[in-house]
């Protein structure tokens, strides 16, 4: 299946974006407010719960790749549904005129097609990443 890719251009520095996506205190403002901890180190793991209507989603993350100020890849698992993870990679690319292209690439979501859960559809994932990238832009530009 084709990966989901959502990107946005933000007038900022690569250092500012990197801190926003790797510093747990900043991540709580634009991403999930209940992330307990996070480190941009290969092998780092964390987990937290997100509730949506009557469903509870346990999120288990493991950092699997880091290229400082360029990209970070996280294996993302919902252990109550699928034991295998899908990968989410955040990319930072410097553009002209002090702009950064921030891109999210989610691969492997087809593992969730067997479930009749609205949050696991491709459409929901695209909408979710569009929402989070917009929140990141708003957070950076405030």
Q: Residue 56 corresponds to which tokens in the numbers above?
A: 């509870």
Q: Is the pTM value of this prediction over 0.85?
A: yes
pLDDT in tens, the chain (142 residues): 799 999 999 999 999 999 999 999 999 999 999 999 999 999 999 999 998 878 889 999 999 999 999 999 999 998 888 777 899 999 999 999 999 999 999 999 888 777 788 888 899 999 999 999 999 999 999 8
Reduce the DSSP state of residue 129 to 3 states and report it.
helix
**Read out DSSP for 49-112?**
EEEETTEEEEEEEEEEEEETTTEEEEEEEETTTEEEEEEEEEEEEE-STTEEEEEEEEE-GGGG
CA separation for the pair 12, 38 (Å, rounded): 22
Residue 136's SS3 state is helix
* CA torsion through residues 18, 34, 87, 109, sign: negative
So what's the pLDDT on residue 112?
77
Predicted pLDDT at 119: 85
CB atoms within 10 A of CB 117: 14
């Amino acid at each position: 299946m084709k990966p989901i890719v959502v990107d946005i251009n933000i007038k900022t520095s690569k250092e500012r974006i990197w801190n926003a996506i790797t510093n747990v205190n900043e991540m709580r403002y634009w991403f999930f407010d209940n992330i307990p901890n996070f480190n941009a180190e290969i092998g780092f793991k964390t987990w937290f719960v997100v509730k949506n209507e009557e469903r509870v989603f346990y999120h288990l993350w493991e950092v699997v790749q880091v290229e400082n100020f360029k990209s970070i890849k996280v294996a993302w698992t919902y252990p109550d549904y699928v034991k295998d993870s899908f990968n989410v990679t955040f990319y930072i690319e410097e553009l002209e005129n002090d702009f950064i292209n921030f891109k999210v690439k989610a691969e492997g979501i087809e593992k969730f097609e067997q479930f009749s859960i609205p949050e696991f559809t491709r459409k929901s994932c695209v909408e979710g990443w569009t929402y989070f990238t917009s929140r990141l832009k708003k957070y950076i530009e405030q």
